[in-house]
Chains A and B, each alone.
Chain A
Amino acid sequence: MSFLTELEAWPAERVRACIEAATVDDVDRAIAREERTPHDLCALLSTAALERLEPMAQEAHRLTRRHFGRVIKMYVPIYISNVCGADCTYCGYAVRSGNKEKRLTLTEAETRRECEVLAAQGFQSLLLLTGEARQAVPPGQIADAVSIAHEYFPSVSIEVYSLSEDDYRLMVDRGLEGVTLYMETYDKATYEKVHLKGEKMDYLFRLDALDRAGRAGARRLGVGALLGLFDSHIDAFWTAMHARYLQRTCWQSEVSISFPRLQHTPERFSIPRLVSNQDLVQLMLASRLFLPEAGITISTRERPPFRDRLIPLGVTMMSAGSSTRPGGYATHGEDTLEQFEVEDTRTPAEVAAAIRSFGYEPVWKDYDYGFAGVAGTGSIS
């Protein structure tokens, strides 16, 4: 099984036509319904829905509270490497983006040092990232990093290049909880235009990666499109459909969606489809209404005041105090190349305080060593 079959049933022209045909009545019906169809999702993503953003927000708020209560999970990323063999035209890590700054992969000791610093800040949930660098950072090395991180954090997830099912399983056996992998864009033609080198050019291998991760036992699967590469409303439709497909296929995994928006790009790349704040809000609300039980993540790519305002609209996970440089927390400081500039530079404590001020509880721990049954604190006989 592959999501490709569903994707092929909903080509861009069909999604666009469905979105464009939607009337305000269709939007009202979609809001009122208890379970929403793909056609309802199109209506919620339409221009007509802009007149109904407020009722959509109220419904998104209600659904999120019902399913998740008033809690926000906190996590933090560690970039273990900025070496990358791919050439994605929009990315600051790509060699041909002209960046000559320092490239490195953290040693085990450096990874440990970064973990120590972040664990001391209260984090219990960690995301490990690399570029597309199978040679420089092979799967075994990522698995080692997972093991190290798991000594400090009950929950460890990865956002790395697409892996085989065996490689995902290797990491799950070392304590991996979640896998995040953005398709960047589901539009194949655009995908091929912006991915010029490396394994990442293999559209289908990436599209099916989360199925493999789910089969290997990953408990959290994160999907998303890099908004701005293609028509963001159509990519949001496909993202939501992908999430729903994964909910059915990998039924034991919790699926979450993200809305990463292209903001800072290298000089050679100008963002083809700018995504406004209003667009982002609409995409998030439509996705929440279509997928009441999906997690929604907002990273530090967004500015603090805007990010805070998104909290009651359906967000369930937030990162804080992030650095996108390898060794950026403790080992190398500002010495290494960053993938993109973060917009929310507040400390974790400041972000937690902002979450509280909106009537939500920041949750640092939502996973226990007892699940994984591998190295960690707390011994049992």
Chain B
Amino acid sequence: MTQQTDIPADPLIIAGRTFRSRLMVGTGKFPSSLALKQALAGCDAEIVTVALRRADLNNPGGDSILSVLDPKRHLLLPNTSGARNADEAVRLAKLARAAGCEPWVKLELTPEPRYLLPDPIETLRAAEMLLKEGFIVLPYIQADPILAKRLEELGTATVMPLGAPIGSNRGLKTRDMIRIIIEQANVPVVVDAGLGAPSHAAEAMELGADAVLVNTALADATDHEAMGRAFAMATEAGRMAYRAGLGPERVTAEASSPLTGFLSKA
């Protein structure tokens, strides 16, 4: 693991702010604040998202999740999960800011509660409203390359496409679309939702994602700290592999000793 003070050569920059870790952590599913603390100790994530519907912003000391977060180490990224339309999301974000949070918001607009899939239309509308209000907006979206470009053009700080439905632990089911999003993006791409194993995180990073966000996989582990560390290492390894330049995939084999070489000698 990198030292806390040791900024690597390739830091993650979001809205002009530098982060050493490319792993973000969601807090909604942890069995206790201690478990969250252990996971954070293991992975040293800096950006931690907290659902505003869960957080008791008027009583941060009494709120078990908030009390674990050290503002010197973590950026508290409030999320609007549960919001069903743009108005609700904007109201939540404003409440968070009024309660003293920084004007950063992870925009989650999930009108159906079963798969918690994001609503593209309301997300775009909310992003526009929030940007006008001066928020730094990190939107959770379907892996839709056009929507990603639209949001980027509006001025969102990142795009956060899903790998698979939240909590499903299925990995990068949207791989092909995420590849296109990454290829076209001028803002950091954070793969969010569905990453259930460190190998999934590594895969997203190898693809060129700028960061990943994980919750269920850490919350559900038996050893939260070790799983946090495993994800941090996988995220770093994936990033390193991406920067090192992965060899291209080929459909056919390329023999190191050609079988037809004798023809050219003739």
Residues of chain A having any CB pair with chain B under 8 Å: 65-71, 124, 154, 219, 247, 251-254, 293, 356, 359-361, 363, 365-371, 373, 377-381
Do residues A70 and B30 form an inter-chain contact, with CB atoms below 8 A? yes
**B113, closest chain A residue (CB):** A254
Q: Is B204 an interface residue (CB 8 A)?
A: no
Do residues B95 and A69 form an inter-chain contact, with CB atoms below 8 A? no
- Chain B residues positioned under 8 Å from A370 (CB to CB): 52-53, 88, 91-92, 94-95
Cα distance, A377 to B169, chains bound together (Å):
37
- Chain B residues positioned under 8 Å from A65 (CB to CB): 220
Please report whether the interface of chain B is mostly helix, strand, loop or mixed according to DSSP: loop
- Chain B residues positioned under 8 Å from A356 (CB to CB): 32
Top 5 nearest A-B pairs by Cβ distance? Answer: A69-B29, A70-B31, A370-B92, A254-B113, A380-B94
List 16 A–B pairs whose Cβ atoms lie within 8 Å, in order of A's numbering. A66-B168, A66-B169, A68-B29, A69-B219, A71-B29, A219-B84, A253-B113, A361-B31, A365-B56, A367-B53, A370-B88, A370-B94, A371-B53, A371-B84, A373-B88, A378-B57
Cα distance, A363 to B113, chains bound together (Å):
18
Do residues B112 and A251 form an inter-chain contact, with CB atoms below 8 A? yes
**A255, closest chain B residue (CB):** B113
**A379, closest chain B residue (CB):** B98
Do residues A380 and B95 form an inter-chain contact, with CB atoms below 8 A? yes
Please report whether the interface of chain A is mostly helix, strand, loop or mixed according to DSSP: loop
Cα distance, A251 to B114, chains bound together (Å):
8
A70-B95 CB under 8 A given contacts A251-B112, A293-B114: no
- Chain B residues positioned under 8 Å from A253 (CB to CB): 113
Cα distance, A40 to B115, chains bound together (Å):
22
**B222, closest chain A residue (CB):** A359
Cα distance, A65 to B215, chains bound together (Å):
12
A371-B167 CB under 8 A given contacts A293-B113, A293-B114: no
Do residues B30 and A361 form an inter-chain contact, with CB atoms below 8 A? yes
Q: Is B64 an interface residue (CB 8 A)?
A: yes
B149 nearest CB across to chain A (Å): 28
Cα distance, A371 to B94, chains bound together (Å):
12
CB-contact partner of B95 in A124, A293, A378, under 8 A = A378
- Chain A residues positioned under 8 Å from B73 (CB to CB): none
- Chain B residues positioned under 8 Å from A368 (CB to CB): 52-53, 82, 92, 95
**B115, closest chain A residue (CB):** A293
Q: 8 Å CB contacts to A: which residues of B169-228?
A: 169, 215-216, 219-220
A378-B58 CB under 8 A given contacts A70-B29, A70-B30: yes
Q: 8 Å CB contacts to A: which residues of B113-169?
A: 113-115, 167-169
- Chain A residues positioned under 8 Å from B111 (CB to CB): 251-252
Q: Is B243 an interface residue (CB 8 A)?
A: no
**B36, closest chain A residue (CB):** A361
Cα distance, A70 to B53, chains bound together (Å):
17
Q: List 7 extra interface pairs beyond A69-B167, A70-B30, A361-B32, CB under 8 A.
A: A66-B168, A66-B169, A69-B30, A368-B53, A370-B88, A378-B58, A380-B94
- Chain A residues positioned under 8 Å from B57 (CB to CB): 378
Q: Is B102 an interface residue (CB 8 A)?
A: no
Do residues A361 and B64 form an inter-chain contact, with CB atoms below 8 A? yes
Cα distance, A196 to B225, chains bound together (Å):
59
What 0/1 pattern do residues 69 to 106 of B give for CB contact below 8 A with A?
Answer: 00000000000001110011001101100110000000
- Chain B residues positioned under 8 Å from A369 (CB to CB): 95
A67-B167 CB under 8 A given contacts A247-B114, A360-B31, A368-B52: yes
- Chain B residues positioned under 8 Å from A363 (CB to CB): 54
A317 nearest CB across to chain B (Å): 14
Cα distance, A124 to B63, chains bound together (Å):
13
Q: 8 Å CB contacts to A: which residues of B2-51?
A: 28-33
**A72, closest chain B residue (CB):** B31
Cα distance, A371 to B219, chains bound together (Å):
26
Do residues A378 and B99 form an inter-chain contact, with CB atoms below 8 A? yes
